Amino acid sequence: MPVTPIRSKSNLKKFVWDTSALLNIKEPNVNGYSPGYSLFKDLSDGWIPGPYQNIFPAIGAFELNASVSRKHREGKGVLREFYLLDDNSVVYPIDEALIRRSADLVVLDSFAKLRGADLIFACIAHLEDAYLVTLDNHFDAVAGVAKVVNLNGSMESPEYREMFRE
């Protein structure tokens, strides 16, 4: 089965969404603010100018469902239904082609510090020259070779916008 290519416009901004950022979209703070939702909306509303593409690694669908199930077991009300796929989105396959393209990356010191599926998200972000959207601080290890949007600094207001000011 052929892989759908990622659109390759030179000014296209790509965003690889880590599961932590996706889950955050569903979990606003007490004031109803979520940096994940805010970034997602800033892209769709054009606040961050130019064409964009949201990349959702296929493994993220399973991780997101597992995280929602854990939240339910903890008694937290998180909606299971989640519709993010649109014309600006692609589900990125985790397949042999990705493994081959990532072979030189996974041995680099910065990438070797990551655990589990985080390595997949970082490899895709690097290979696609995309921003890696996350709430996991350990991705700072790859900040020198991948564009990391760490939403932790935006928990109260959209500080991430500074990265996109022209």
Contact in structure between 95 and 1 (CB atoms under 8 Å): no
- Tokens at 80, concatenated: 């299971």
Q: Are strands 147-150 and 89-92 parallel, antiparallel or unpaired?
A: unpaired
Q: pLDDT tier at 3 (50, 70, 90 boundaries)?
A: very low
What φ, ψ does residue 156 adopt, rounded to 5°?
-110, -25
pLDDT given for residue 151 in this prediction: 97
pLDDT above 90 as % of the chain: 63
Q: Give all domains of the chain, ordered by start, each with its CATH number.
A: 13-164 (3.40.50.1010)
Among 106, 110, 109, 98, residue whose Cα is nearest residue 140: 110
pLDDT digits (tens, 9 = 90+) for 131-154: 999 999 999 999 988 999 999 999
